[in-house]
Chains A and B, each alone.
Chain A
Amino acid sequence: MVGEDVITGVLESGGGECEITSGFGIPSWKKAAGSDIDGREDFKACVGRFDEKAEGTDVFNFTYGPSAGGLNESCKFNIYTYGERILSLRPEPAYKDRRLEVSGSGLVMAILRLERYCGPLSPFYSGMFAAAVEAIMGNGENNDLRLARVIMNEVGRISDHLYVIAKLAEGASQNVAYNLLFGLREKLLRLVSRRFGHRYFFGINGFGGLARSADFGGISSEVGAIAEEFRQLWIRLENSGIFIDRIQGTATLRRPWMVGPAARAAGLRTDTRIDGSCLRYDDLDLEVASAASADTLARSLVRKDEIFASARIIEKAESMIREVPAAVRMNLGEISGEISVRTETPGGDSLMRVSLANGVVKKIYIRPSSLQNLAVFTYAIKENLLTDFTFGYEGLGIHVSELGGVL
């Protein structure tokens, strides 16, 4: 468990910057301590300010990005090298910062914009926002809606993990594995499209229910078949010396402020699903995956185990789900209040602070898992070879769109 003194977020409150130091419980914050926290790694991980540079004879600095064929999303990296070795790396993710405007929006527009905060993680962010609004409205938790959101999130988690492992296989030139894994992900997206009406769950999460009807019947058997196909692929991948050699010992890092698969791969038992404030998993037989070596291989092993765990959770949730209510679209009322929610996205713990005034979003703050994971990458890639860049970066499942600000 992460210690209480670890900074897990930084938000503006009361006219000043406040640090969130809640660990994995209900977040609380206090005024930032000032310049003395600037040097702390956990603080940098929450604000995304990196001043990592290296200088010296024969140190070569070059830039990669912001737009490059090898990057799925735009991000600039200043890489300082000595020969093939990376001495230091300074990411600049602000290039594609869209400054997503949510403050001042009505609730329906806000949830649609938050779905597009990070498209591949749309069920997580829209679900988090909907849960926050429902809590402020004082609506009691609807068990069927909770189970529906759990199923959507776990399908999203499998999709993201398949993508990450596919990218690692691509980096290691395991082209058959890469194509079959990408094919498996396509199969999953088609399942989502068929059952939820949209490949990325856009337009599905609503307040007090689902905004569109969804078909949950038999979903676990389809997801289970995909997980089984993945198992066959993974058996071959873990027997591939080429694949394992590229990810073993690559981008190793252990820090108490890490989240998600990166933390669990370093032996930290942190998972917001255990005690998060958004969705309960206590009756769903959640098994928290873990590994010890804290490198890209360990992160892949955690993701692999989580694919199977998610398939089991979906099976359990499907057996319990009855009738999911329809969302309330109009007349949400003059709701006011403030609340924090957090959820376990595929990359780890993400926190959202929602403040509503008279049915309009007054202010919103998001501390996404990718911010922490970008910091993990920045520190972990040091002393690795330049050719390890892909494995370190892709193995963390960073979504650059998540790093943008929300206004």
Chain B
Amino acid sequence: MKSWLTYGLMRKRLTTGFPSMEAEEVPLWTTTPVSTGTGEAHCPANAIKGTTVEMGRCISCGYCSPAFQPDGVPGTSIVRSTEKAFRKSFHIYLFDAGSCGSCNLEVKALGNPYYDMSRLGISFCATPKHADALIVVGVLADGMSDPLKRAVEALPSPKLIFALGACAISGGIIGKSISGIVDADIVVPGCPPNPFTILDALQRSRGVRL
């Protein structure tokens, strides 16, 4: 039997060329729904205002179809501030404030061979004390308010705070957002945001031109 190393090397290359190349398979309903001008849209999250969609509220349910159709473009994040000091090495800490678990898995997916964020100098760390950025997912559960405050305080400067997913940004259809505790520098919409969108946000947050 071949060794693990040989077996691994014999696999074909899985890793995406994104962000230097086009994203190959973007999950459609996590991208921005665009009005098709046909019919009336029903949005259970009240994200639709006229012909536009407030992405921070969109829960990617697709109930607005066929009046709206997703544009398939992964770059939906809003980057309010950037930190160029993290361009070569970027350590992120995932903080679950009260998620359903899917945002967590999409962030963790960045480590799998399809996205391999380590090729871009991005890695997970085990404590906010060693992190450059805090990625907050989920609605703000009462019990997680204090741990979130402490995690933000533990982050060394310079630092970036991400609100990732509709729940963290607006509370979605579940609860309250994290905005009462911390102001996010970057918001990453989606329910959950797909790994391409997250990767795009991470790169833009450190001033990498895409």
Residue ranges of A at the interface with B (Cβ–Cβ < 8 Å)? 66-70, 72-74, 94-100, 108-109, 112-113, 116-120, 122, 163, 174, 176-177, 179-180, 182-183, 185-187, 189-190, 193-194, 197-200, 202-203, 211-212, 235-236, 239-240, 329, 399-401, 404
For the complex, what is the distance from the CA of A315 to the CA of B91, rounded to whole Å? 43
Which residues on the A side are within 8 Å of B100 (C-beta)? 116-120, 122, 401
Interface string of B1-22 (1 = CB under 8 A from A): 1001101100100100000000
Residue of B nearest to A113 (CB): B173
A72 touches B108 (CB 8 A): yes
B105 touches A120 (CB 8 A): yes
B96 close to chain A: CB less than 8 A: yes
B25 touches A193 (CB 8 A): yes
Q: Which of A108, A122, A180, A197 contacts B44 (CB 8 A)?
A: A108
B11 touches A116 (CB 8 A): no
Given contacts A180-B11, A203-B60, contact A193 B42 (CB under 8 A): no
For the complex, what is the distance from the CA of A98 to the CA of B101, rounded to whole Å? 12
A183 touches B141 (CB 8 A): no
B143 touches A182 (CB 8 A): no
Q: Which 4 A-B pairs have the closest CB atoms?
A: A69-B126, A119-B102, A203-B61, A119-B100
Given contacts A67-B147, A202-B191, A203-B62, contact A73 B96 (CB under 8 A): yes
A202 touches B108 (CB 8 A): no
Given contacts A197-B29, A203-B61, A401-B99, contact A73 B191 (CB under 8 A): no
> For window 132-168 of chain B, which residues contact chain A by CB distance below 8 Å?
138-139, 141-144, 147, 151, 167
B44 touches A73 (CB 8 A): no
B44 touches A96 (CB 8 A): no
B27 close to chain A: CB less than 8 A: yes
B126 touches A112 (CB 8 A): no
Which residues on the A side are within 8 Å of B59 (C-beta)? 112, 116, 202
> For window 94-115 of chain B, which residues contact chain A by CB distance below 8 Å?
95-106, 108-109, 111-115
Minimum C-beta distance from A294 to chain B (A): 26
Given contacts A176-B5, A182-B113, A236-B7, contact A112 B105 (CB under 8 A): no
Given contacts A74-B96, A212-B62, contact A174 B4 (CB under 8 A): yes
- 7 additional contacts (CB under 8 A) given A72-B96, A119-B192, A197-B29: A66-B144, A72-B104, A176-B5, A199-B194, A212-B65, A399-B101, A400-B101
B44 touches A95 (CB 8 A): no
Minimum C-beta distance from B100 to chain A (A): 4
Q: Which of B103, B124, B125, B175 contacts A98 (CB 8 A)?
A: B175
Minimum C-beta distance from B164 to chain A (A): 13
A96 touches B27 (CB 8 A): no
What are 19 A-B interface contacts by the 8 Å CB criterion?
A68-B127, A69-B125, A95-B147, A96-B138, A96-B141, A97-B141, A98-B141, A98-B175, A116-B100, A116-B172, A116-B174, A117-B100, A176-B5, A186-B112, A187-B114, A198-B27, A198-B30, A202-B60, A401-B100
